[in-house]
Amino acid sequence: MSNENDVNEEFEDMPDAEGEPDENSQAYADPDAEIDSLRTENEELRDKLLRTYADMENLRKRLERDRKDAEIYGGTRLARELLPVHDNLKRAVEAITEEQREAASSVIEGIELTQRELLNAFEKHKITRIDPEMGDKFDPKLHQAMFEAPMPGVAAGCVLQVMAEGFMIGDRLLRPAQVGVSSGG
């Protein structure tokens, strides 16, 4: 009996014998309109596909840029914490007299070796020194003025003294060089 009901339902969906079309058959009445409709839909889908492709390409580029940034700048916090270690090693080496060097040469060599290894590790991770010379023009992007003093013979705005080297990581400033600046003569 269920087969009989299925057959009856199929016949109900068909147009009646008098030729009155149902709603579905009206959709196919004008083939040109149907083709235009399909072309429009095709263009919309193609546009969506191209936009999605462009979005995916932009995402890929952004993720690659973020990966490179993480690789270069990921150790920034650790590097900042190691800068005082570098400063102290440098001060220790600079404070050694010739007499001390002769008396404790192996200890001093160890300190110098440690300092070189730290600088090699910095270089390996794209950490470079900013080491201005006396007389260089003060650059607020790379230097931090710790004091300003008049100095005869030195133009205003030039470095007088370097208190601490600065450092860059990649193309970003890690720490500015700490300098004294001339206010002129």
What is the per-residue pLDDT across 117-135, written as a single tens digit (0 to 9) for each? 999 999 999 999 999 999 9
Q: CA 45 → CA 59, 67, 78, 80, distances in Å?
A: 21, 32, 50, 51
What is the per-residue pLDDT across 35-51, written as a single tens digit (0 to 9) for each? 999 999 999 999 999 99
Q: What is the count of structural domains for the chain? A: 1
pLDDT(18) > 70:
no
151 assigned to some structural domain? yes
In terms of residue numbers, what domain contains 155? 127-185
Give the pLDDT band (50/70/90) at residue 152: confident
179 assigned to some structural domain? yes
Assess contact for 182 and 149: CB atoms under 8 A.
yes
Q: CA 69 → CA 59, 64, 102, 126, 169, distances in Å?
A: 15, 9, 46, 12, 11
pLDDT(63) > 80:
yes
Which pTM does this prediction carry?
A: 0.64
**Lookup result for tokens 């914490």:** 81
CATH number, domain with residue 145: 2.30.22.10
